[in-house]
Amino acid sequence: MNEPACTECRAIAQEILDAYREAWDLGSEAFREAWAARNRLIGGTEQDVFRAEEAFAKVQPSSSARIGDALHRLLVHRARTGHRLRGRR
């Protein structure tokens, strides 16, 4: 991520990164394949859409409390300060 605006922004950015890494590490092979397929959809081809549909069908929907908590903290901080974290480019 680009260098965040303040110390709390940096802490939140690290928390989000760690939460997504944990989800990746704990996820099944089908989960990782679906996640990668989702990323290939951005600027991808029609074939990527078909691969993603197949991958998504194999994954059980789940959620991560850690990711949810980190994103909640991000939204509260944004509402309070107006700071915006930018994603990786």
2 assigned to some structural domain: no
Determine the structural domain holding residue 45 and report its residue range. 7-81
Mean pLDDT of the region 72-82? 95
For the chain, what is the domain count?
1
Residue 53 counted as domain residue:
yes
pLDDT digit string, tens, across residues 15-68: 999 999 998 898 889 989 998 898 889 888 999 999 999 998 888 777 789 999
Q: How far is CA 84 from CA 6, 46, 73, in A?
A: 10, 33, 12
What is the rounded CA–CA span in Å between residue 13 and residue 42?
22
Q: Is residue 75 part of a domain?
A: yes
Would residue 89 count as lying in a domain?
no
Which pLDDT does position 13 carry in this prediction? Answer: 94
DSSP of 40-88, one letter per residue?
HHTT--HHHHHHHHHHHHTS-----HHHHHHHHHHHHHHHHH---PPPP
Whether residue 27 is contained in a domain is answered as: yes
As a residue count, the chain comes to 89
Question: 1 pLDDT band (50/70/90 cuts)?
Answer: very low
Per-residue confidence (pLDDT) for residue 59, from 0 to 100? 85
Q: Residue 43: what pLDDT?
A: 87
